[in-house]
Structure 1
Amino acid sequence: MPTHPGDEPHRHRRMAESFGVDAERYDRARPRYPDALVDRIVPAGHGSGPAVLDVGCGTGIAARQFRAAGCTVLGVEPDERMAEFARRLGVPAEVATFEAWDPAGREFDVVAAGQSWHWVDPVAGAAKAARVLRPGGRLAVFWNVPEPPPAVAEAFAEAYERVAPDSPVDVRATPRRAGDGYWSLLTKAADGIRGTGAFGAPEQWRFDWEVTYTRDAWLDQLPTQGALTRLPPDDVSRVLDAVGAAVDAMGGSFPMRYATVALAAERLAGIIGR
Structure 2
Amino acid sequence: MAEDMATSFGAQAGDYEAGRPEYPFDAVAWMLERMPADSRRVADVGAGTGKLTRVLTQAPDAEVVAVDPDPEMLAALRGAVPGVPTFVGSAERLPLPDASVDAVVLGQAWHWVDPVAGSTEIGRAVRSGGVLGLIWNIRDDRVEWVRRLTEVMHGSHAEIMLAEGDPVVTAPFGPLDQERWEWVRPVTRDVLHRMAASRSYIITAADEEKARIRRELDALFDELDLHGDATIDLPYVTRAYRAVRD
Q: TM-score, normalised by structure 1?
A: 0.77
Of 153, 178, 182, 2:162 maps to: 182
The alpha-carbon deviation at position 139 of structure 1 amounts to: 0.6
Distance in structure 2 (CA, Å) of the matches to 1:20 and 1:185? 29
Does 1:266 find its partner at 2:244? yes
Rate the CA distance shift 1:240–1:153 in 2: closer, same or farther, 3 A.
farther
Distance 2:96 2:88 in 1: 12
Please list every run of 5 or more consecutive structure 2 residues that lacks an aligned counterpart in the other structure: none
- CA offset digits 1:153-184 (Å, max 9, x no partner): 436635x6xxxxxxxxxx2x58xxxx786143
Structure 1 unaligned residues grouped into runs of 5+: 1-10, 161-170, 269-274
Cα distance change of structure 1 residues 48 and 32 upon mapping to structure 2, 3 Å threshold:
farther
Distance 1:125 1:209, change over 3 A: same
Partner residue, 2:19:
29
Contact between 1:156 and 1:242, CA under 8 Å: does it hold in 2?
no
Name the aligned partner's letter for residue 264 of structure 1: R
* CA shift in 2, pair 1:250/1:230, >3 Å: same
Please list the CA deviations of residues 104-129 of structure 1 after superposition, one character each: whole Å capped at 9, or x if unmatched. 34511111000001111101111112
CA distance in 2, matches of 1:142, 1:121: 16
Alignment check: 8 A CA contact 2:18 2:191 kept: no
* Aligned mates of 2:161, 2:234 — CA distance in 1: 16
* Secondary structure class of the residue paired with 1:141: strand
1:4 is matched with which residue?
none
How many equivalent residue pairs? 236
Query: Who is 1:92 aligned against?
Result: 85
User: For the Cα contact (< 8 Å) 2:107–2:136, is it kept in 1?
Assistant: yes
- After TM superposition, the score normalised by the length of structure 2 is 0.85
Residue 38 of structure 1 aligns with an amino acid whose one-letter code is: V
In 2, the alpha carbon distance for the partners of 1:81 and 1:180 equals 27
Aligned pairs for 1:227-242 (under 5 A) are 227-233=201-207, 235-242=209-216
8 Å Cα contact 1:86-1:92 kept in structure 2:
no
The residue number in structure 2 matching 1:66 is 56
Residues 186 and 256 of structure 1, relative CA distance in 2, 3 Å threshold? same
Distance 1:233 1:204, change over 3 A: same
Alignment partners' CA distance in 2, 1:86 and 1:126: 25
2:139 alignment partner in structure 1: 146
Cα RMSD (Å) of the superposition?
A: 2.6
Alignment identity in percent? 29
Check 1:150–1:137 CA distance in 2 against 1; reply closer, same or farther (3 A cut): same
In the TM superposition, what is the alpha-carbon distance from 1:102 to its structure 2 partner? 3.4
Deviation at 1:230, TM superposition (A): 1.3
Of 64-73 and 244-253, more deviation after overlay is shown by: 244-253
- State whether residues 146 and 234 of structure 2, in contact with CA within 8 Å, keep that contact through their aligned partners in structure 1: no
